Structure formats: structure tokens, C-alpha cells
């Protein structure tokens, strides 16, 4: 009887916890509906700033939660573009003496083979596993911008936006002409991190490097939309 009592007591507590969680989520949603547009924008900014502070302390998981709250509050219209998020790049980085030495120390694994495995995992929707292999590849070739770009793509797929931001920023630092990285950073700031000014900056950098007329037209329209929302001419 005692075992049965403990079992039912545990089930009861579990149901209570689940009920409270659902109640909390519904309450948040109802409060969200009551807020005015101005209040939503202000609260979203607060969440965003807390997220940026958490990034500085390396608490990426908590930062992502703050960014998601900001995103829910704003519910900004998504960018009507074919995003590059699903596209990872083939490794074309030159082999250097430093990378060869690192690969020898790694027991024979090369950045190329690790990246290839990561791409295969990506195709199987095993994004977290792909991240593990990209991180290993980066240890062997830390100057390979494509690896950071691909890492950012994987982080977006599992909703880890803070890490994605850091990865894409590293990609453009290593390769300032990587238009795809600027494009993805723009989308990241626009639709997820809710930083319209940074989104505009990244889109402008993309336009300087882009050649596709249709994409250029869409990006210019998006920039005008964002500027209008910010009161910028």
C-alpha cells in the first residue's frame, strides 16, 4: 500500500507541476495580448539587452531564452526570402603547415574528414552531432571561415541564436567578403535577436557583395521596411 501511495503521490505532483507550467504559459500569452505595441517593444528591448549581457558572461542558453521572449513579444513579420540557413559550404580552405601539424597530433583526423562527417550528419537532421564535428574541425583549422559559417547554420537549426551570432561574426572576421555570412547575420538579427539596426548593417554589407538582382531587390525592400519601423530615412 505504501508503494502505491508513493506512486500516486508522485503522479499527482507531476500532474500539478504540468498544470502550473501550462497555466504559466497561458498567463504569459494573455498578458502579452493585453500589452500595447509600445509596451511590447519596450519589454522586447529589455529581454534583448538581458540576452546580450548573458552572452558576455558566456551563459548562452539563458541568452537564447531571453532572445526567444523578445521574438514572441514582437512577432515581427518574417523575411520573405529563401534563407541560406539550410546551406552549408564545402571546405575549400588551404592546408597550412599549422593545420597539418594539428592534424598529425589529432591522430590522423583531418578538418576535411571531420567537416564531411558533419555535413552528412546535417543531411540526417542530426544537428547537435554535426556541431560536435564542426567544433573538432575548427580546433584543427581555426582560420577556416567556412567552418564557422557552417557551425552558425547548425546553431540556428537548434535555436541557439547567441552561438550562431558568434559563429557568423567569426566567419566574417576571417573572411570579410563572405556575403552569405552577412546575409545570415542579417536574418539572425532581423527575425531572432530583434536588433533591427544590426540587421540593416549586415544587409548593407551583403548588398555590397551580392550579384543576384532578385535577392538584391528583396533585401533593399526589407531594409526600407526596417528603416521605416525605426523612423530612419
Q: pLDDT of 6-27, one tens digit each?
A: 444 444 444 444 444 444 444 3
Inter-residue contact 196 to 226 (CB < 8 Å) = yes
Q: pLDDT of 84-94, one tens digit each?
A: 444 566 654 44
Inter-residue contact 170 to 190 (CB < 8 Å) = no
Q: Residues 129-135: what's their mean pLDDT?
A: 95
Q: pLDDT of 32-77, one tens digit each?
A: 445 555 566 667 667 767 776 776 676 767 776 777 777 666 554 4
Q: Quick check: pTM over 0.75?
A: no
What is the rounded distance in angstroms from the CA atom of residue 233 to the CA atom of residue 227?
6
Helices 145-157, 161-174: inter-axial angle, 10-degree rounding: 160
Q: pLDDT of 180-207, one tens digit each?
A: 999 999 999 988 888 999 999 999 999 9
- Secondary structure (H, E, C), the chain: CHHHHHHHHHHHHHHHHHHHHHHHHHHHHHHHHHCCHHHHHHHHHHHHHHHHHHHHCCCHHHHHHHHHHHHHHHCCCCCCCCCCCCCCCCCCCCCCHHHHHHHHHCCCCCHHHHHHHHHHHHHCCCHHHHHHHHHHHHHHCCCCHHHHHHHHHHHHHCCCHHHHHHHHHHHHHHCCCCHHHHHHHHHHHHHHCCCHHHHHHHHHHHHHHCCCHHHHHHHHHHHHHHHHHHCCC
Q: Please name the fold of domain 97-230.
A: 1.25.40
CATH 1.25.40.10 boundaries in the chain: 97-230
Residue with the bigger pLDDT between 20 and 162: it is 162
What is the rounded distance in angstroms from the CA atom of residue 19 to the CA atom of residue 95?
56
Amino acid at each position: 500500500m505504501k508503494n502505491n501511495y508513493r506512486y500516486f503521490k508522485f503522479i499527482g505532483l507531476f500532474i500539478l507541476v504540468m498544470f502550473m507550467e501550462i497555466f504559466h504559459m497561458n498567463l504569459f500569452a494573455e498578458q502579452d495580448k493585453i500589452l500595447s505595441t509600445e509596451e511590447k517593444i519596450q519589454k522586447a528591448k529589455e529581454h534583448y539587452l538581458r540576452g546580450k549581457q548573458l552572452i558576455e558572461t558566456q551563459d548562452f542558453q539563458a541568452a537564447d531564452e531571453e532572445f526567444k521572449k523578445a521574438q514572441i513579444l514582437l512577432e515581427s513579420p518574417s523575411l520573405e526570402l529563401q534563407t541560406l540557413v539550410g546551406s552549408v559550404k564545402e571546405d575549400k580552405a588551404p592546408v597550412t603547415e599549422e593545420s597539418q601539424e594539428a592534424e598529425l597530433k589529432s591522430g590522423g583526423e583531418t578538418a576535411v574528414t571531420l567537416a564531411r562527417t558533419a555535413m552528412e550528419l546535417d543531411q540526417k537532421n542530426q544537428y547537435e552531432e554535426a556541431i560536435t564535428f564542426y567544433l573538432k574541425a575548427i580546433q584543427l583549422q581555426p582560420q577556416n571561415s567556412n567552418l564557422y559559417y557552417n557551425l552558425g547554420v547548425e546553431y540556428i537549426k537548434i535555436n541557439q541564436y547567441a552561438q550562431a551570432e558568434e559563429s557568423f561574426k567569426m566567419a566574417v572576421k576571417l573572411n570579410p567578403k563572405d556575403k552569405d555570412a552577412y546575409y545570415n547575420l542579417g536574418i539572425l538579427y532581423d527575425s531572432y535577436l530583434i536588433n533591427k539596426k544590426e540587421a540593416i548593417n549586415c544587409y548593407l554589407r551583403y548588398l555590397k557583395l551580392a550579384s543576384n538582382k532578385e535577392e538584391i531587390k528583396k533585401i533593399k525592400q526589407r531594409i526600407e521596411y526596417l528603416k521605416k519601423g525605426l523612423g530612419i530615412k
